Amino acid sequence: MTQHTQRTTYKVFVYGSNTHFEELNHWCAAKSESLNIIATEPAWCPDYQPTYHYFSSGRQCGALDLLPALGKTTSGALLTIDNNTLNALNRKEGAPQCYEQQELSVLTANGKQHQAITFITVPSKRSATHTPPSEDYERIVRVGQRGLGHDPLNMEQAAANEPITPIIKTLFVYGTLMHDESRSHVLPQYKITERRMGRVPGQLFDLGLHPALRPAQTHSDWVYGECITLENIESALQETDLIEGFHGFSDSDNVYDRRLLYVTLEDGSLKLAWVYFYHNELSAQRLEHGHWNPRHTDKPGEDLPPFSLCVDFNCTEFERRIDLLKHATQRLAGGTLNSEQATTFAINLLQCQRNEAEQALVPGSWCVIPGTEGIPSDARVEFAFMPTYWAIAFLCRFQLEYPKQAEQLPNLTQALDLALDFSVKRKLAGHGYEADLQRFIAVEILYLGRVPEWLTLHRTRGQALRCALRQAGRDFRRKVLNEEKDLWFEIPETDLLRFCAQLKIKG
């Protein structure tokens, strides 16, 4: 059992029934226990897999445990809690008689590694055979995992006593493992199923024969490379660990550390991947453009056509304007708009924003139709609110990624404030039976534009939108926890899980 000196807060990794926070709340209330979760974020415990070999006398069924397994991961949550809450978890887990505290390495999707307490069964309580859970316990774990944005597949495999398959099958490479580089022969033997260009937050340094990735220091620090999905990811990682001098998650002699990061792909979508960070600080030359080999440097695509508002009622033209806003934001997110192209489009957007003189239209929007009088609500959502969400997304991301250029646009601040006020007039909701789906799309658009990050940096602005995003997070998490099936028909489960994982705004 790991001993801990008393301190103010603790990092604790939970992976079983304690990921279902509503159930945890009920237990604490029934036992008059203190529950103070200061912070929570999705996390993964590497080199361990979930298993059922412990019989819980309280639940009268099998309960989850962790089993060392090189190359596997167990999904859960990293909690920051106080001493009273840790004591409550000790009592809930029957520590130290049934479970005991152990300190393990835990990864979060921002490239960080944490040392955290977790609860693992004491050896004397483990059965030599599979101990199945009850349907209710399995449901609690499944819903808790989904509420954190995790795919519950591994938990379902453990419950059924099936082999645990890797959930994270993607590796982000930015140097010698890339296509046409000196080690490009290594990964194809592990069956590449997808190869896409992408970028991650970070700073890149030139070490001569190979590059080194270090954490980003500003919002405009990016490193470019390839996002490679492999069928035999576990075998591939064994070889890349040797190549990168990675000996283990708690090894201080690592040359590179293997971490998890969301990769932004060329279309602006995100994918969770393994990535290697250089372990030590560096004094080498930094590659400001984020490309190790100049021949991989992305040439900017064609200039964007100018954005304009429609003067006639033409649905085809309305949709073409919205598609342009979407395309521009995706290119900005994917790193294929250079600063000059992005600045030109931002200026163009600011010139097209609806103003006070247009009485039929609410000021601050990018409504693509020439007037809203007599227009039904569903059309207002599609042609007034959706283009405005896209414009906000572009301008917020532009300000984060090209701050010097954004400073040269004196009307950007006022324009964004007007747009943020307009954007919450429907509290992000859609219309009719598609209200949930359209609300989900609105939040996805704003996330593509890094709007939550922007709101975190500008705490006195966009208060109403901040509240609307938080409420959306609460509402969707409630639907996930209640397993409301109507939502699954509208929104792909993988998208909804990713949404739940990412919807978090500080301040």
Q: Per residue in 345-399, pLDDT tens? A: 999 999 999 876 554 457 889 988 887 666 777 888 899 899 999 999 999 999 9
Tally Cβ neighbours within 10 Å of residue 304. Answer: 18
Is 495 domain-assigned? yes
Within this chain, do residues 336 and 259 fall inside the same structural domain, yes or no? no
Phi/psi at 107 (5° precision):
-110, 145
**Predicted confidence (pLDDT) at residue 403 exceeds the cutoff of 90:** yes
Within this chain, do residues 332 and 475 fall inside the same structural domain, yes or no? yes
Q: 343: domain range?
A: 315-502
CA pair distance 133, 56, nearest whole angstrom: 9
Is 310 domain-assigned? no
Within this chain, do residues 100 and 215 fall inside the same structural domain, yes or no? no
**Nearest alpha-carbon partner for 173 in 247, 254, 233:** 233
Q: Is residue 41 packed enough to be buried (19+ CB in 10 Å), middle (13-18) or exposed (0-12)?
A: middle
Tell me what pLDDT residue 488 has: 45
Query: Looking at the 3D structure of the chain, how many domains does it have?
Result: 3
| Per-residue confidence band for 498, with pLDDT thresholds at 50, 70 and 90 | low
Tell me what pLDDT residue 119 has: 97
State mean pLDDT over 199-217. Answer: 93
Is 301 domain-assigned? no
Tell me what pLDDT residue 112 has: 96
Is 426 domain-assigned? yes
Tens-place pLDDT, residues 240-256: 999 999 999 989 999 99
Tally Cβ neighbours within 10 Å of residue 8. Answer: 7
Is 99 domain-assigned? yes
| Per-residue confidence band for 431, with pLDDT thresholds at 50, 70 and 90 | confident
Within this chain, do residues 358 and 438 fall inside the same structural domain, yes or no? yes
**Predicted confidence (pLDDT) at residue 197 exceeds the cutoff of 60:** yes
**Predicted confidence (pLDDT) at residue 507 exceeds the cutoff of 70:** no
| Per-residue confidence band for 267, with pLDDT thresholds at 50, 70 and 90 | confident
Of the listed ranges 174-178, 250-254, 280-284, 406-410, the one predicted with least confidence = 280-284
Mean pLDDT of the chain: 88
Q: Which residues are CB-contacts of 325 (< 8 A; sequence separation ≥ 6)?
A: 307, 366, 387, 390, 391, 394
**Predicted confidence (pLDDT) at residue 4 exceeds the cutoff of 90:** no
| Residue 56 · residue 86 · CB < 8 Å | no
| Residue 272 · residue 170 · CB < 8 Å | yes
Within this chain, do residues 343 and 255 fall inside the same structural domain, yes or no? no
Is 3 domain-assigned? no
Tell me the pTM.
0.82
Q: Which of 96, 121, 152 is the last residue of a domain?
A: 152
C-alpha R_g of the chain: 25
Residue percentage of the chain with pLDDT more than 70: 90
**Predicted confidence (pLDDT) at residue 489 exceeds the cutoff of 50:** no
**Predicted confidence (pLDDT) at residue 485 exceeds the cutoff of 70:** no
Is 163 domain-assigned? no
Within this chain, do residues 289 and 395 fall inside the same structural domain, yes or no? no
More confident residue, 438 or 123: 123
| Per-residue confidence band for 493, with pLDDT thresholds at 50, 70 and 90 | low
Within this chain, do residues 366 and 395 fall inside the same structural domain, yes or no? yes
Tell me what pLDDT residue 36 has: 93
Tens-place pLDDT, residues 6-60: 668 999 999 999 999 989 999 999 999 989 999 899 999 999 999 999 999 999 9
